[in-house]
Structure 1
Amino acid sequence: MMKKWFDILINKAKQSWSQLIVVNDPDQLGSDPLLLDLLKQDFAVVSFQGELSLRQFIRQHQSRQILILLQKEAACLPYDIEQNADLISWTLTDIFPRLDSKALRMFEMDGYQSIYEAYQESVATLGILDEQQTLFLIREWIAIGKVLAHEKGYGGIANVIKIRKHGEVLEKDSSAYDYTRLVKDIRQLLEQDKKDWPLIARRWGELESLYPAEMLETESYFALDHEISQLFQDYIIQEYDQLFFASYINGPV
């Protein structure tokens, strides 16, 4: 059974034995209705709105562990409560460590489970993505039907990337053709027993010039990036003792 996207947040809270637990929740993840329902099975949950209401809530729930959500940027707890509480944080980075939080905040929270499931399937081939890369990846997942999610302020499902249909002939002067050609060239170079890393680097630089503005197949790009990183790491480990003389023998590198 697929885990819920917020399981790690619940586990963080359950690791505390303190009667008061303060959760710094800048992404307001604790606002998710299903997460709240599950939390209330084990905790008395309150979103901090002010000192008087908080103290009253604490008095009314002395027999339970109390989870206090800090969801406002300028929120400041009373000193005595903060000093007697266990402080933890919930962020989108806890859940999607390889994706950019700013990009994730652009999507409605009810789509996080779908994004999480796609992320778990692809995480082994992903690097650390920036905001634009994360947006492209999620939008591609949405476009191919892998993810069901909505961008905030958008009337329908985000579908801003046109995916090349299987068997479609690409024009030779198009960026799509260049992308396909470069990926093919790089893969052929990687298959060689003695890899020409300077040439691979040049081809990769050409490919990078098409990304992200002209990216068509984001997942294949990140898979290739991961493969190159692994192979180059192996090369460095195996050939390190010879690399010192590389520029002297072969010219500038």
Structure 2
Amino acid sequence: MSEPAPAGALQVPKAAELVAAQLRRQIVMGERAEGELLPPELRLMTELGVSRPTLRQALRILENERLVRIHRGRNGGARVSRPTVDTAGRHLNNLLLFQGATLDDVHTARLLLEPAAVARIAGTVSAEDIAALRVAVADSLAATDAADIRRIGSEFHIKLIELTGNRSLVLFARLISGLLDGAMERHDAERRKQRIPSQASGLIEEHSRIVDLIEAGASREAARHWREHLEAVHRQLRKSINTDLVLDIES
């Protein structure tokens, strides 16, 4: 019977974890294409120098991480599934559920991210970028379906972050947007049920104002205006949803 490792001892990764790490790197670095069928077991075992049980355990690790899809049967195998924002969002949502996070927490994260990004891009974006933002505002104002208005508005927020050119911030913005989408959908449904008029047009007009401020290079005013806009959106949300409750599965 082997002795347990002493406290604080360096843990040696298992062979399956090392194999999973090697395949994971190939997938995330683009060496394995989306939908690509990995080589048959025997070939992979030879290439990686591992046993069948080790390889299968490594593939199970990657399957749990949604990086491969395992198809059983005669024509089965492991197909590459590149990481997506939706997948990351589901993992983040589960983690936030475990941590007891609320919609108020998500709102605070948005407040820390978006106004700073807006201040950063003010006066630095091209005329083409400004024109694209104005088209997005016009599309929102022209939309009549609540789901379309919500989707276009959400993408507008993300477009602002994209203009920073920072891919990490864009990912965070999409994750935050995904967490808020479900709540906003329930908010809209509750307002329709209570026959409360939508205030979406007023909030969208604030999108137009932020474009003006960005174009003018008014960074401080842009940050202040966008912070006030986000606070207004959150106040509207609170009218039909208890935002200090822990996020639920549908958030």
TM score, norm. by length of structure 2: 0.29
Larger radius of gyration: 1
Q: Which has the higher relative contact order, 1 or 2, with Cα contacts under 8 A spaced 6 or more apart?
A: 2
TM score, norm. by length of structure 1: 0.29
The structure with more helix, counted as a fraction of residues: 2
